[in-house]
A and B are shown apart, each in its own frame.
Chain A
Amino acid sequence: DAGVIQSPRHEVTEMGQEVTLRCKPISGHDYLFWYRQTMMRGLELLIYFNNNVPIDDSGMPEDRFSAKMPNASFSTLKIQPSEPRDSAVYFCASNYPGGTEAFFGQGTRLTVV
């Protein structure tokens, strides 16, 4: 398997624009996680899904953030409208039930100017 695949790797956008980040989990994994890494807050969990259903979105910072998982092989994280403080590296991760580690994608570096 190619691992967790995220796209794009880099995104630069202007404040106020909509941004969509994409993730393809490892086949067979039924947990999917979105994390964000910033200098101030480190790596923090935003939301996670089990069998395509959102389980815990308490880490989503504001209503401007939304995430979906329409099927087992695809998830999106959307920011609308984007703000400069959303600039960060966003990671997607997946694991299988009972699996003792999560597998991370390479991340999307988002810059909002």
Chain B
Amino acid sequence: DQQVKQNSPSLSVQEGRISILNCDYTNSMFDYFLWYKKYPAEGPTFLISISSIKDKNEDGRFTVFLNKSAKHLSLHIVPSQPGDSAVYFCAASDAGGTSYGKLTFGQGTILTVHP
């Protein structure tokens, strides 16, 4: 049973445009959500997160939206840059704040930003 799903394996976007990556989850116990970015041959690196008590969190070009009723979150990147090309993982935690490293990951979405 896949509790965190990223239904789009890949996304291609023109430089300067918006990239929208989507994620759905099924476990109502998840209380914290994160996005990680991964380049080839490297480990995932943290990008942005959101608590379940919020519906939006913004950090520079990156914004995460959470719709709890729909069990859906999305990552918006505006404007997209070629350096954003990577695999993006959605992750969720049900650790209740004890450790946000105990994560359930989605399958990832490969983002390609064309110059």
Decide if B41 touches A31 in the complex (CB within 8 Å). no
Most chain B Cβ neighbours within 10 Å, of A4, A48, A91, A104: A104
Interface size on A, residues (CB 8 A): 25
B81-115 contacts to A (CB < 8 Å)? 89, 97-108
Give the segment of B10-18, B21-29, B43-51, B64-72 that binds chain A: B43-51
Main secondary structure of the interface of B (DSSP, over half): loop
Smallest CB gap from B50: residue in A:
A100
How many chain B residues sit at the interface, stated as a range, is 20 to 34
Contact flags A36-58 to B (C-beta < 8 A → 1, else 0): 00000011110010100000100
Which residues of B does A touch, CB under 8 Å?
Answer: 32, 34, 36, 41-46, 49, 89, 97-108
Q: A33-B102, A91-B44, A100-B100 are in contact. List 18 more A-B contacts (CB 8 A).
A: A31-B101, A42-B106, A42-B108, A43-B44, A43-B89, A48-B102, A50-B99, A95-B100, A97-B98, A101-B34, A101-B46, A101-B101, A103-B46, A104-B45, A105-B43, A106-B42, A107-B41, A107-B43
